[in-house]
Amino acid sequence: MKLKISPSRLCGEVKAPPSKSYAHRCLICAALAGGESRIIGISDSEDMLATLDCVEALGARYDKCGDTVTITGRRGKTPEGAVLRCRESGSTLRFMIPIALTGARVRFEGTPRLLERGIGIYEDMLGCKGIKIKKDEGGIELCGALTTGEYVLRGDVSSQFVSGLLFALPTLSGDSVIKVLPPVESRAYIDITLGVLRSFGIEISEPEPNIFTVRGGQRYEAGEKTVEGDWSNAAFPLCAGALGGSVTVSRLSFDGSRQGDREILSLLRRFGARVVQNGDSITVSHAPLHGTEIDATQIPDLVPVLATVAAVAEGKTVITGASRLRLKESDRLCTTRDMLRALGADIRDTEDGLEILGKPALTGGVTSSFGDHRIAMSAAV
């Protein structure tokens, strides 16, 4: 697929798409709940379809009508020999593994890039708990049952591993503890998981920072949920407004949102853009932009589009705390660098981030998306 984009001033209003972070979590909780749940705000994206495929493979049933999914929760354990097809969704894979471990043999499949990224700390952690793990070119096979106890995870890897355990452990008969070792990156995504769990009747306590006590024997409660707008996706049109027009994005949650990527507003203000909030809408308009320093530890998904803004901001922008981007759908530090260089930017990657020397304008050119949606969207901006 090839797209040709000509220079223009973007002006107008768009609605933020539903948050995939919330949607994944709501679908999973509904699948674990007794009875029928309705989740409003489910897109037809590949990631959502992957989670729905896996929900069905676990034994739940669903019906999708427009953007509303009705789910009847699974009864009993994961079927023997279940195949969970995760496509290219790392969230789906990492969330589903602990949930699927009820004693049966299960297999996870996905794209070559997803399997290359692997299941990280689950391998050692679950192996020590008696789970048998076998990998081949086409997938990952696991056999065994998740057990209660203490789980210790590094906090500088994906928070999705923590969330996977938070989904599964409350359904076991005994109590458990999850300890996340500092530094804890992307803490906002753990908070999203805790909030969605609470809305489905699951209580997790945190007696000390990043130590979670999970009471066993809990039951998920079915219900109706509406997925809030996605700050991560809203960042792209908002940044486009900062670069030369005036763009309004509606259907966003502000004070009540746990999404870390709402930080895009303060970052655009630091670049010098005009930012105005009105109800559930935000308008970003162009103003002279200047470089800044950004710690991306808690907002790694924003890095490609922030680098795009930095490429035309006067002075130097330094982005740090983004080493985990090397393990995304692409090595996003390298692909962001290569994409922007192809369009005329002065940019280099460092061990954990990017350094960009802004120019008055980019030259344009031909660039690749590297098979990564965030690189494609940043290139379009």
Catalytic residue ranges: 301
272 conformational bin, left if phi > 0, alpha if psi -120 to 50, beta if neither: left
For tokens 């894979």, the residue is 93
CA angle 96, 97, 102 (to 5 degrees): 105
Instruction: Write down the residue that tokens 């004070």 correspond to.
Output: 255
Contacts 24+ apart (CB under 8 A), 260-264: 260/186, 260/187, 260/188, 260/189, 260/298, 260/299, 261/188, 261/231, 261/232, 261/235, 261/299, 261/301, 261/302, 262/231, 263/298, 263/299, 263/302, 264/231, 264/234, 264/235, 264/238, 264/239, 264/299, 264/302
- Give the SS3 label for residue 136: strand
In the structure encoding, which two tokens stand for residue 275, read together? 């930012």
DSSP string computed for 154-215: ETTS-THHHHHHHHHGGGSSS-EEEEEESS--SHHHHHHHHHHHHHTT--EEEEETTEEEE-
**Dihedral pair phi/psi, residue 152, rounded to 5°:** -115, 125
**How many other CB atoms are found less than 10 A from the CB of residue 366?**
8
If DSSP codes are grouped into helix, strand and coil, which group holds residue 294? Answer: strand
The conformation of residue 238, written as its DSSP 8-state character, comes to H
Cα-based torsion angle of the residue sequence 318, 324, 326, 330 in order, rounded to the nearest 10 degrees: -110
Tokens standing for 304?
Answer: 């490609």
Question: How far is Cα 296 from Cα 268, in angstroms, rounded to an integer?
Answer: 14
Supply 254's token pair: 């502000």
